[in-house]
Amino acid sequence: MPRTGKAPQLPAALARAAVDSVADAVVVIGADGGVVHLNPAAEELFGRSRERAVGLPARALPGGAQLDVLSERARRSQESRWADFPSPQDSGVAITVEASPMFDGPTIAGTVVVLRVPRGGERALNFEALAAGLAHEIKNPLAGLQGSAELLAREAEGSARAYAQVIAREARRVDGLVRELLDLARPAALQTGPVDIHRVLGDVRALARGFPGAERVTFLERYDPSLPPVLGDDEKLTQVILNLVRNALDAVADRPGPTITLETSVATFRLRAPSGRTRPLARISVQDDGPGIPEAMLARLFTPFSTSKPHGTGLGLAISRRIVDAHGGRIEVRNRAGGGAEANVYVPLEVS
């Protein structure tokens, strides 16, 4: 039987019971910045009963200053915002905090803040701090090693010079790996604005011409001229697409008459943001006529250090996905039915 009419409104008591049943800590903050509701998990996390907390400014909770700032950012942007904060119970434990705008029709009535604490008492690994510390410990002796090897290579002769050149080359390779690890560990801080994706693709083509073997490749363009600007970070999007084109160049290196196709269009679907709103997306596609991706690799393409390249690190796609995720988009890689591989990047269009 077809459904008619509007769905019945959820009773307030049932809505509150649903929030109270969530295992993660949930804080509802009003448009004025005051606490409207705490679920039991939040009461335990903050050491405050609901009765004592409701009506107070959110910043009055333990660690509430950061909570208030994140909540305000979500209200103003009308988009969800994430951050990692020290736990109010133990500053050595990092918790993930997500603030989402709470809509009442067209009006923002406040924010819903979800705080996720590591389960089982485990301390969350601060990957960013670990990578930064590791990079600091590696880069200083590595710079000395590389400098000494280059100096030795200039002054030595015969086999000693050849060995020194190998050391210097490998030191540069390790330095590049450390930089990639930092790119993966650091949150992708974006400087967003309207971006002409066709200009970005033109820049990528120019940069790609400097890669070995690129002079043999025919680049085809299938652009949607009516595509509006995308909302993104120009430099970061260039990094993502350049990495995909580099992968395509590697894939067609041994093919006769290799071709890489760059294609743009409006995506045929929309992604729903955590706020509940959907936004139109641009599709940026990089297609090659290479041998395709081994089936065993497809499921692990975005896993760090997973690579089929003899000299690859397996970090490029992992970093690219992190950047695209930060844009609120999606990246997919698949084999094409007619042969070769296709990488599709979906990022939000700029909407007025």
CA distance 116 to 118: 7
Pair 199, 339 in one domain = yes
CATH number at residue 86: 3.30.450.20
Residue 9 lies in a domain: no
- Specify the number of domains making up the chain: 3
Q: Answer yes or no: is pLDDT of 28 > 60.
A: yes
Name 302's Cβ contacts closer than 8 Å, sequence gap at least 6. 317, 318, 321, 331
Pair 172, 212 in one domain = no
User: Using one digit for the tens of pLDDT, what is the confidence trace for 340-350?
Assistant: 999 999 999 98
Mean pLDDT of 70-91: 82
Pair 92, 25 in one domain = yes
Residue 13 lies in a domain: no
pLDDT class of 113 with cuts at 50, 70, 90 = very high
The reported pLDDT for the residue numbered 187 is 57
The reported pLDDT for the residue numbered 278 is 72
Residue 6 lies in a domain: no
pLDDT class of 37 with cuts at 50, 70, 90 = very high
User: Using one digit for the tens of pLDDT, what is the confidence trace for 166-218?
Assistant: 887 877 777 766 666 666 666 556 788 999 999 999 999 999 888 888 889 99
Pair 180, 268 in one domain = no
Residue 69 lies in a domain: yes
Of 163, 185, 207, which residue is a domain's last? 185
Share of the chain above pLDDT 90, in %: 26
Pair 50, 156 in one domain = no
Residue 209 lies in a domain: yes
Mean pLDDT of 303-318: 66
Pair 93, 132 in one domain = no
Residue 10 lies in a domain: no
Mean pLDDT of 118-130: 53
Pair 38, 91 in one domain = yes
User: Using one digit for the tens of pLDDT, what is the confidence trace for 283-303?
Assistant: 999 999 998 888 877 777 777
Of 185, 207, 228, which residue is a domain's last? 185
The whole domain housing 148 covers 127-185
User: Using one digit for the tens of pLDDT, what is the confidence trace for 127-147?
Assistant: 555 666 666 677 667 777 778
CA distance 267 to 279: 10
Pair 335, 217 in one domain = yes
The reported pLDDT for the residue numbered 309 is 61
CATH number at residue 205: 3.30.565.10
| Paired tokens of 25 | 């800590």
Pair 200, 334 in one domain = yes
Residue 296 lies in a domain: yes
The reported pLDDT for the residue numbered 317 is 84
The reported pLDDT for the residue numbered 183 is 64
Name 205's Cβ contacts closer than 8 Å, sequence gap at least 6. 219, 245, 262
Pair 95, 62 in one domain = yes
The reported pLDDT for the residue numbered 307 is 65
Q: Answer yes or no: is pLDDT of 226 > 70.
A: yes
Pair 45, 105 in one domain = yes
Pair 220, 315 in one domain = yes
For the chain, how many helices (H) and strands (E)? 10, 14
The reported pLDDT for the residue numbered 121 is 42
Residue 11 lies in a domain: no
Helix (H) or strand (E) holding 46: helix 40-46
| Cα angle, residue 313 at apex, residues 289 and 230 outer, rounded to 5° | 60
